[in-house]
Amino acid sequence: DSTVPGPAGDIAIRIYRPHSGPAPVHVHFHGGGWVLGNLVTHDADCREICAASGCIVVAVDYRLAPEDPFPAGAEDCYAVACWAAANGSELGAQQGPISIGGDSAGGNLAAAVALMARDRNGPAIAMQLLIYPVIDATMESESYRDNADGYLLSRTMMAWFWDLYCPDVDLRADPLASPITAEDLSALPPALVMTAEFDPLRDEGEAYAQRLKAAGVEVEVRRFDGLVHGFFSQAGIIEAAREGVDLAVKALRKAHNRAS
């Protein structure tokens, strides 16, 4: 456990190291609707990623809403990404770009950080791992209608999260809040987009993947049939969820090997 400087004070981080180093660096942003979650709630996910991918994982305890609404969380995540890229020697990292990723709201933050890194001239990013990401604040997709209730994450819960994270409705059209609204998605890092069949967020994640592809970004998109939102954290008890973890770490290894 450590801290790094942020735009509004120190940001808590947790660093996971594989048994052998130097290693590439992956910066991970937890889910929880920008309101819930911390370094403890996603500790197992980060351990899984570190052990299986061979990456040094930096987990980020970014500021949460409603005390710190948009864009506080995104700015914290970008600050840690910049720190991780600039302090490889302190982390014991090998040379090369970092990767970024997260689940749900963390996937939203990873997509936002990818946009920020492109538009702010760095840091270099090997790939973005978007696990059932929040991408579109409108909540008007078919999957929002079909999976509104009964599949863990509900439409009502998402509306509550958005109201706390970005209470100014007009700001929700900002690409750093709703990445799918960005006019230009070119020159972004390669992406793995993972969605779940019974998840309100399914369609927006897949729509974002298609927009990235159309902009010339290398994208792999995979829908996990039969699963609900949050499956990535259930790999210990759901065999199909283990496939998701395996896919994610394989993509991370591939991206870092190619970039090294």
Catalytically active residues, by annotation? 104, 199, 229
DSSP track, 173-210: GSTTTSGGG-S--TTPPPEEEEEEEE-TTHHHHHHHHH
Hey, what are 234's tokens?
């259930």
Hey, what are 84's tokens?
């991780």
The three-state secondary structure class of 172 is helix
Q: Exposed/middle/buried for 221, CB within 10 Å: 0-12, 13-18, 19+?
A: middle
The three-state secondary structure class of 89 is helix
User: How many C-beta neighbours within 10 Å does residue 172 have?
Assistant: 17
**Which residues on adjacent β-strands are paired with residue 101?**
28, 129
Pairing of strands 125-131, 191-198: parallel
User: How many C-beta neighbours within 10 Å does residue 109 have?
Assistant: 33
- Give which of 78, 88, 101, 79 is closest to 28, Cα–Cα: 101
Q: How far apart are CA 144 and CA 158, in angstroms?
A: 10
